[in-house]
Amino acid sequence: MIINNPQLQILEKGFLDIDVPPTLDLFEAINELKKQKKMIVLAHYYQEPDIQDVADYIGDSLGLAQKAAETDAEIIVFAGVHFMAETAKILNPNTKVLLPDLKAGCSLADSAPADLFKAFKAKHPDHLVVSYINCSAEIKALSDIICTSGNAEAIINSIPTNQPILFAPDKNLGAYLNKKTGREMLLWNGACMVHEIFSLQKLIQLKVRHPEAKFIAHPECEDAVLNIADFIGSTTQLLKYSSQSNASTFIVGTETGILHKMQQLSPNKTFIPAPPTNSCACNDCPHMKLNTLEKIYVCMQYEQPELTMDENLRLAALQPIKRMMEISKKAGLIG
């Protein structure tokens, strides 16, 4: 098929808008492409179930970064969001990184524009900058160490207690870490739209109706929500907890995509998504959900859209990620 000006289409839409025949078995077609090309499909737990089922590896942000760094595939197809694909490119520059929809962004990453953050950082020259991986490559380049929800506590605890820290961009994760580690980190005022949507009142009502249920939550949730959680952790840690716990019912305080793997690992357990504040909004991340099986197939076939990065920016962003990887390795943390 000939596409008229594919680069312009990608620029405008974020993806190649090519009709895929509805009769095509996408699972088979994707697996066939994987055999033909040296490709690996990496997917975050927040992707739709079909995408998780065709992925070669599913993980949280830490696991995905580790997998992207170590793969010898020639092409990484990243079923996730922009900052994740950027991290893969930073760690593995000689591999072609494809993102099925370049407009798959992140509200949390967007809450820290690089120019404003640079000015904020300049006001606190004595602070070490620790940034959550959910940020742009520009913010990473302005940071001293990166962390993920899976290793944040270990990263903070690796820093001498007398060293002031500026933590960005997630104020909820930052506040949680302050509580856990006893630090008083200065927090950038950013948040994730999905993890701020949970209704405390409805959650309490749900817990009353299901007294046997364990409420498990991601540390990007607000403090009041985390206060009533039985377990707090990254997506991988929540998954592990739900599969190993003796409880039979779980109220899940994170994006709904994770329920697919939870249910697969524990078919006899019940998983209830934590209730959002209003009846029409759901706990789906609109950015993560921009990826579809069709877009993944087209992207694998045409090897576009490709994520590219300025080499100086890549090198600057690499240093704080490398520090994170080293600390994680020492602590034996795998996502």
Determine if 192 is a binding residue for ligand SF4 (CB under 6 A): yes
Distance in Å, CB of 143 to ligand SF4, minimum: 17
What are the angstrom distances between the C-alpha of 89 and each of 61, 67, 149?
A: 14, 12, 20
Hey, which bits of 18-150 come out as E strands? 39-44, 57-59, 75-79, 96-98, 128-132, 145-147
Give the interface segment with ligand 13P, choosing from 13-21, 28-36, 147-155, 196-204 (CB under 6 A): 147-155
Q: Tell me which residue of 132, 85, 146 sits closest to 305, measured CA to CA.
A: 85
Q: How far is it, in rounded angstroms, from Cα 329 to Cα 310? A: 28
Pick from 92, 255, 259, 276: which binds ligand SF4 (CB under 6 A)? 255
CB of 319 to ligand SF4, least distance (A): 23
Strands annotated E in the chain: 39-44, 57-59, 75-79, 96-98, 128-132, 145-147, 165-168, 186-187, 214-217, 231-232, 249-253, 270-273
Q: Is residue 235 within the footprint of ligand 13P (CB under 6 A)?
A: yes
Considering the complex, state which of residue 61 and residue 291 has its C-beta at the smaller distance from ligand 13P: 61
186 Cα distance to chain centroid: 23
- Pick from ligand 13P, ligand SF4, none: which does 107 bind, CB < 5 to 8 A by kind? ligand SF4
Q: In whole angstroms, how close is the CB of 67 to ligand 13P at the nearest point?
A: 12
Q: Which does 61 bind (CB under 5 to 8 A by kind): ligand 13P, ligand SF4, none?
A: ligand 13P
130 counts as binding ligand SF4 under rule CB under 6 A: no
60 binds ligand 13P (CB under 6 A): yes
Q: Which is nearer to ligand 13P, 89 or 287 (CB)?
A: 287
Residue 134 contacts ligand 13P per CB under 6 A = yes
Joined tokens for residue 173: 């994760």
- Which of 150, 174, 253, 276 is in the footprint of ligand 13P by CB under 6 A? 150
Side-by-side strand order, sheet with 145-147:
145-147, 128-132, 165-168, 186-187
Of 145-153, 189-197, 199-207, 240-248, the window that binds ligand SF4 (rule: CB under 6 A) is 189-197
Q: Which of residues 175-204 bind ligand 13P (CB under 6 A)?
A: 192
Residue 287 binds to ligand SF4 (criterion: CB under 6 A): yes
- Alpha-carbon span 269 to 259, nearest angstrom: 11
Q: Which does 76 bind (CB under 5 to 8 A by kind): ligand SF4, ligand 13P, none?
A: none
Among ligand SF4, ligand 13P, none, what binds residue 149 when CB lies within 5 to 8 Å by partner kind? ligand 13P
CB neighbourhood size of 201 (10 A):
9
Per CB under 6 A, 81 contacts ligand SF4: yes
Q: What is the DSSP string of 221-262?
A: S-HHHHHT-SEE--HHHHHHHHHHSS-SEEEEES-TTHHHHH
Q: Does 111 bind ligand 13P (CB under 6 A)?
A: no
Query: DSSP assignment, residue 289?
Result: G
Distance CA 315, CA 310 (A): 9
CB of 120 to ligand 13P, least distance (A): 22
77 SS3 class: strand
Q: Distance between CA 215 and CA 195 in Å, rounded?
A: 14
The contact set with ligand SF4 (CB under 6 A) reads 46, 81, 106-108, 134, 192-194, 255, 285, 287-288
Point out which residues bind ligand 13P (CB under 6 A).
60-61, 134, 148-150, 192, 220, 234-235
